[in-house]
Amino acid sequence: HQTRAPARLALARFAAAPGPRDASARPADGSVAVKIEIAPALRAALKLPGKQRKTRCFVEDRADERALRDAIETKVPALRLADYALEDRNGTVVVEGAAPEPEPEPAAPRAPAAAYRMLSYYHFFGDEKTADDVDAIVRALDRDWAALGVLGRAYAAPEGLNAQLAVPDDALGTFERRHLAFFEKLEEPAPGLNLARVVGRAEFDARPPFRALHVRARAQVVADGGGVDDLDLSDAGEDLDPARWHAELGGDFEASGGAAKRTVLDVRNHYESAVGTFAGATPLGTETFKDTYPRLAAALKDAPKDEPVYMFCTGGIRCVKAGSYVKQKLGFPDVRRLRGGVVNYTRHLEDEDKAAEAAS
């Protein structure tokens, strides 16, 4: 557990508050019962069910705020990643939302943004999360992002997180700060944000990539069909930044003949590869990612195992599972993945073009 926002309640008030009047309500271990009520605004923001409006927990020492918070979060797991304060009101501990930053939350939903920054990120957890953890992640992200006017979709699963979002451009700094704070609470390294272009309001309205915000729990963030349950996703090969990828493979490979000398796999679905791919790359031709593992085995059947295997996808997440499978199940020790996928590579080229144009 990480340190939460400081409670407004002096700890002495917990000690002075009355315990249970009926001795039969006191457990045999001597702990005391504490009545808990979740404030309506926080309950609504976290979309908690009505049965979690009031509850009761037991602690050995009512003045031990850390122990009390642990007990409350055991009863209401969605609070594990929320910023909240505690206030004693006539013997009942009321749990109220606390702003994660000094600036106040908007009292009403934000108006549509003048421009949106498109971005994505993914993260695989060091250790799988429980169902309660996943529920807390979903509720915390939904609350924080909705307050900023974020649109898009995100999925949380025991294995990790995957998000594709449109963030109001004027709220990007706040989003980035909360992103770092959120992963600090999770005790996980914060993944980098795959920043794409800024889309103006008129263009966004004409062809909206997202119409609302949806944060959902899933069994997996990348559904692989099962059957391969023991992959170590931290051992997925080397992550190449776009500059190194470009240097090693010669961009689209045509100038250097890189495709003829290298094994390069397009780990996207067939309809994505049909839009465009690196010249000479081998598309797996999948319908969904569930088809990927057998297609990888077929594509690499005759490939020399002492040569590197390069792979890319749209944003990078699918290559983590594909790279893990190629290394651990097919026995290719040198796997190299394009960091951030085609999205990041495209942005890299755009940045280079802008720099060259500014220098000319």
**What is each CA distance from 54 to 40, 47, 94, 356, in whole angstroms?**
11, 14, 9, 62
Residue 28 to residue 23: CA distance in whole angstroms: 10
- Strand ranges (E), 39-183: 54-59, 84-89, 92-97, 115-124, 151-157, 160-168
Structure tokens at 288: 């969904």
Residues with Cβ within 8 Å of 83's Cβ and at least 6 positions away in sequence, in order, are 4, 5, 97, 98, 99, 100
Backbone conformation region of residue 156, classed left if phi is above 0, alpha if psi is from -120 to 50, else beta: beta
Helix (H, G, I), strand (E, B) or coil at 299: helix
Kind and range of the H or E element at 68?
Answer: helix 65-75
Residue 59 to residue 64: CA distance in whole angstroms: 8
Active site (catalytic) residues: 313
